[in-house]
């Protein structure tokens, strides 16, 4: 692995960890909103809340934002995926704790890793596959197949959301080769806001004033998460970045306890330790890879 690729991968990992934490905080706010509004409306509110922050980013970049110099078909695809992903996940959060929803959602890194080779041309090393398998084993420890929610409609909704997320992540990596990061984020948020609003139709409910702080919270955390995850997949190899999605489990366990007073069982803590350990193992193994010897031309 070249030093440049190694550095990009490490930056991508850092961006991914920040993104995961930001999205966990955003998802907690979405769960608080989910009993009060239709899932499609929550998806639209997520887009509207983040747009002002993204627009400030556009104003700072000016012409470098390159909003119109984009690959439109992929942006349309990401818009559809974003609406389905957010709507399905919000629907599931009405009944599932964050930790259980995330446990199902963590099939996404497996899908991303499987797609990285044929769609992105990435070489998926044995260490990366091992980290994925170990992390997923931790998820199974947490969720315990056969549990009460495994075959529920909410669980299937999370699975659909995970598939949409995986495909969207791969498309972000492809778009990152030609399109600016701010354009990728802007058109996704705009598509989610306008598309989900149109689909909500007459079911739209007036936003209650007591929920204004949740929308501000979603704006900040969602924008940080979307920007950093776009940068993560733009810079780093998808098959390496994806396993660090598992760190969200630690966030969800903490939020379930702090906000909803749900205490995890010991087996859940064991699974969380396995999940986080898989990501640490992957980072350790990547850093231990031998650096290529410098040649006279590169010295």
Residue bearing the bigger pLDDT, 183 or 273? 183
Span of 14-28, 165-179, 253-267, 275-289 with lowest mean pLDDT: 275-289
How many Cβ atoms sit within 10 Å of the Cβ of residue 137?
A: 14
| pLDDT tens column, 81-130 | 999 999 999 999 999 889 888 888 888 888 888 888 888 888 888 888 88
Find the largest Cα–Cα distance for the chain. Answer: 69
Please give the Cα distance from 170 to 60 (Å, whole number): 27
Check if the beta carbon of residue 158 is closer than 8 Å to that of residue 101. Answer: yes
Q: Label residue 272 by pLDDT band (50, 70, 90).
A: confident
Lowest-pLDDT range of 41-45, 190-194, 208-212, 242-246 = 242-246
> Cβ distance 163 to 111 under 8 Å?
yes
CA 18 to mean position of chain CA atoms: 11
For residues 293 and 101, the model is more confident at 101
Angle, alpha carbons 234-155-74 (nearest 5°): 30
Of the two residues 194 and 235, the one the predictor is more confident about is 194
Report the pLDDT value the prediction gives residue 47, as an integer from 0 to 100. 95
For the four alpha carbons of 47, 70, 178 and 59, in that order, the dihedral sign comes to negative
Q: How far apart are CA 59 and CA 192, in angstroms?
A: 21
Q: Which helix (H) or strand (E) holds 122?
A: none
The pLDDT, as a whole number, for residue 104 is 83
Question: What digits encode the pLDDT tens for the residues 128-152?
Answer: 888 888 888 887 787 666 555 455 7
User: Given a cut of 70, is residue 246 above it in pLDDT?
Assistant: yes
Q: Exposed/middle/buried for 145, CB within 10 Å: 0-12, 13-18, 19+?
A: exposed
pLDDT at site 247: 87
| pLDDT at residue 299, as a whole number | 29
Ranges of each domain in the chain: 3-202+222-287
Q: What is the mean pLDDT of the chain?
A: 87
Nearest residue to 122 (alpha-carbon basis) of 25, 15, 260, 12: 12
Could you give the angle at the alpha carbon of 131 between the alpha carbons of 109 and 137, nearest 5°? 80
Distances (CA, A) of 223 to 24, 51, 144, 182: 12, 8, 33, 11
Asked if the model's pLDDT at residue 180 lies above 50, the reply is yes
DSSP state of 144: -
Is the confidence at residue 296, as pLDDT, over 70?
Answer: no
Asked if residues 164 and 84 have their Cβ atoms less than 8 Å apart, the reply is: yes
CA-based radius of gyration for the chain: 19
Report the percent of the chain where pLDDT is more than 70.
Answer: 91
**How does pLDDT run across 247-270, given as a tens digit for each residue?**
888 899 899 999 999 877 787 778
pLDDT at 297 over 50: no
Global pTM value: 0.84
Print the SS3 string covering 209-266: HHHHHHHHHHHHHHHHHHHHHHHHHHHCCHHHHHHHHHHHHHHHHHHHHHHHCCCCCH
Confidence of residue 185 (pLDDT cuts 50, 70, 90): very high
Q: How confident is the model at residue 291 (pLDDT cuts 50, 70, 90)?
A: low
Residue 294 confidence (pLDDT) above 50? no
């Amino acid at each position: 692995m070249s030093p440049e690729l190694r550095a990009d991968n490490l930056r991508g990992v850092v961006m991914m960890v920040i993104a995961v934490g930001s999205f966990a905080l955003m998802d907690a706010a979405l769960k608080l909103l989910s009993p009060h509004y239709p899932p499609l409306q929550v998806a639209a509110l997520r887009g509207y809340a983040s747009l002002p922050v993204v627009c400030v980013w556009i104003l700072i970049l000016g012409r470098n934002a390159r909003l119109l110099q984009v690959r439109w078909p992929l942006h349309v695809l990401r818009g559809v995926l974003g609406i389905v992903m957010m709507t399905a996940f919000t629907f599931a959060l009405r009944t599932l704790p964050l930790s259980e929803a995330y446990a199902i959602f963590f099939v996404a890194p497996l899908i991303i890793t499987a797609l990285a080779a044929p769609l992105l041309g990435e070489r998926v090393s044995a260490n990366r596959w091992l980290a994925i398998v170990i992390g997923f084993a931790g998820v199974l420890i947490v969720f315990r197949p056969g549990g009460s929610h495994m075959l529920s409609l909410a669980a299937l909704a999370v699975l659909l959301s995970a598939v949409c997320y995986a495909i969207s992540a791969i498309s972000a990596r492809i778009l990152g080769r030609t399109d600016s990061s701010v354009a990728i984020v802007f058109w996704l948020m705009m598509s989610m806001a306008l598309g989900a609003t149109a689909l909500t139709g007459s079911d739209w409910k007036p936003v209650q004033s007591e929920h204004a702080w949740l929308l501000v919270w979603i704006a900040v955390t969602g924008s940080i998460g979307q920007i950093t995850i776009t940068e993560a997949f733009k810079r780093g190899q998808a098959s390496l970045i994806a396993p660090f999605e598992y760190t969200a489990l630690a966030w969800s366990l903490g939020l379930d306890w702090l906000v909803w007073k749900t205490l995890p069982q010991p087996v859940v803590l064991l699974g969380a330790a396995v999940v986080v350990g898989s990501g640490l193992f992957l980072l350790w193994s990547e850093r231990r890879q031998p650096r290529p010897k410098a040649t006279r031309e590169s010295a």
